[in-house]
Chains A and B, each alone.
Chain A
Amino acid sequence: MKDSGAPYVTADGRQIGKVLMDMRGITLRFGGVEAIKDISFDIREGEIRAMIGPNGAGKSSMLNVISGFYHPQEGEVWFRGEKRPPMKPFQVARLGIARTFQNIALFDGMSVLDNIMTGRLTHMKTGLLAQMVWKGPAEREEVENRAVVERIIDFLEIQAIRKTPVGRLPYGLKKRVELARALAAEPKLLLLDEPMAGMNVEEKEDMSRFILDVNDEFGTTIALIEHDMGVVMDLSDRVVVMDYGRKIGDGTPHEVRNNQEVIDAYLGVAHD
Chain B
Amino acid sequence: MSAEFLYGVEVIINGLMAGVLYALVALGFVLIFKASGIFNYAQGVMALFAALTLVGIMEGQVPFSHIINATFGTDVHNFGWTVPALLAIALTLVVMIIFAWMVHTFVFKHLVGQEPIILFMATIGLAYFLEGIGDLMWGSDIKTLDIGIPQGGSMWVENLSKHLGGEDFYGFFIDKLDIVATIVAIVLVAGLIVFAQYTKQGRAMRAVADDHQAALSVGISLNFIWVLVWSLAGMVALVAGVMWGAKSGVQFSLSLIALKALPVLMLGGFTSIPGAIVGGLIIGVGEKLFEYMIGPMVGGATENWFAYVLALLFLVFRPQGLFGERIIERV
Q: Please list the residues of chain A having a beta carbon within 8 angstroms of any beta carbon in chain B.
A: 67, 69, 88-91, 93-94, 98-99, 101, 105-110, 114, 117-119, 121-122, 124, 126, 128, 131-132, 134, 138, 141-142, 181-182, 185
| Residues on B with beta carbons closer than 8 Å to the beta carbon of A99 | 217
Contact A90 B219 (CB under 8 A): yes
From B195, B201, B206, A107 is in contact (CB under 8 Å) with: B206
From B198, B204, B211, B213, A121 is in contact (CB under 8 Å) with: B204
Contact A90 B222 (CB under 8 A): yes
From B195, B199, B204, B221, A118 is in contact (CB under 8 Å) with: B204
**Smallest CB-CB separation from B34: which chain A residue?**
A109
| Residues on A with beta carbons closer than 8 Å to the beta carbon of B202 | 131
Q: Tell me what chain B mostly uses at the interface: helix, strand, loop, or mixed.
A: helix
In the complex, the 9 A-B pairs of residues with the closest C-beta atoms, listed nearest first: A93-B219, A105-B214, A107-B210, A89-B216, A131-B199, A122-B219, A94-B219, A118-B218, A105-B213
| Residues on B with beta carbons closer than 8 Å to the beta carbon of A138 | 199-200
| Residues on B with beta carbons closer than 8 Å to the beta carbon of A134 | 198-199
Binary A-proximity of B178-204 (CB < 8 A = 1, otherwise 0): 000000000000000001001111111
Assembly CA distance A122 to B198 (angstroms) = 17
Is B6 at the interface (CB under 8 A from chain A)?
no
Is B220 at the interface (CB under 8 A from chain A)?
yes
Assembly CA distance A142 to B235 (angstroms) = 26
| Residues on A with beta carbons closer than 8 Å to the beta carbon of B91 | none
A-B contact count (CB 8 A): 85
Contact A108 B211 (CB under 8 A): yes
Assembly CA distance A67 to B219 (angstroms) = 11
From B198, B201, B217, A105 is in contact (CB under 8 Å) with: B217
Is B207 at the interface (CB under 8 A from chain A)?
yes
Given the known interface contacts A105-B213, A108-B211, the answer about A114 and B220 at a Cβ–Cβ threshold of 8 Å is no
Contact A122 B218 (CB under 8 A): yes
23 sample A-B contacts, Cβ–Cβ < 8 Å, listed by A number: A67-B217, A90-B221, A98-B218, A101-B213, A101-B214, A106-B211, A108-B210, A109-B209, A109-B210, A114-B203, A114-B206, A118-B203, A119-B218, A121-B219, A121-B220, A122-B218, A124-B200, A126-B200, A132-B195, A134-B198, A138-B199, A181-B218, A182-B217
Assembly CA distance A69 to B215 (angstroms) = 12
Assembly CA distance A54 to B216 (angstroms) = 28
**Smallest CB-CB separation from B202: which chain A residue?**
A131
A147 CB to nearest B CB, Å: 16
Assembly CA distance A138 to B199 (angstroms) = 8
Assembly CA distance A118 to B200 (angstroms) = 8
Assembly CA distance A54 to B75 (angstroms) = 76
Contact B219 A131 (CB under 8 A): no
Q: How many residues of B contact A (CB 8 A)?
A: 24
Contact B201 A118 (CB under 8 A): no
**Smallest CB-CB separation from B214: which chain A residue?**
A105
Q: Please list the residues of chain B having a beta carbon within 8 angstroms of any beta carbon in chain A.
A: 195, 198-204, 206-207, 209-211, 213-222, 228
| Residues on A with beta carbons closer than 8 Å to the beta carbon of B213 | 69, 89, 101, 105
Contact A98 B195 (CB under 8 A): no
Contact B206 A109 (CB under 8 A): yes
B214 CB to nearest A CB, Å: 4
Contact A93 B210 (CB under 8 A): no
A121 CB to nearest B CB, Å: 6
Contact B217 A88 (CB under 8 A): no
From A67, A110, A124, A182, B207 is in contact (CB under 8 Å) with: A110
| Residues on A with beta carbons closer than 8 Å to the beta carbon of B209 | 109
| Residues on A with beta carbons closer than 8 Å to the beta carbon of B203 | 110, 114, 117-118, 121
Assembly CA distance A206 to B326 (angstroms) = 33
From B200, B210, B220, A131 is in contact (CB under 8 Å) with: B200
| Residues on A with beta carbons closer than 8 Å to the beta carbon of B210 | 107-110
| Residues on B with beta carbons closer than 8 Å to the beta carbon of A91 | 219
B170 CB to nearest A CB, Å: 45
Given the known interface contacts A126-B200, A131-B199, A132-B199, the answer about A118 and B216 at a Cβ–Cβ threshold of 8 Å is no
> Interface centre among B203, B206, B215, by most A CB within 10 Å?
B203
B308 CB to nearest A CB, Å: 30
**Smallest CB-CB separation from A107: which chain B residue?**
B210
| Residues on A with beta carbons closer than 8 Å to the beta carbon of B216 | 69, 88-90, 93
A177 CB to nearest B CB, Å: 11
A227 CB to nearest B CB, Å: 21
| Residues on B with beta carbons closer than 8 Å to the beta carbon of A98 | 217-218
A45 CB to nearest B CB, Å: 21
**Smallest CB-CB separation from B228: which chain A residue?**
A128
**Smallest CB-CB separation from B216: which chain A residue?**
A89
> Interface centre among A67, A105, A124, by most B CB within 10 Å?
A105
Contact A90 B207 (CB under 8 A): no
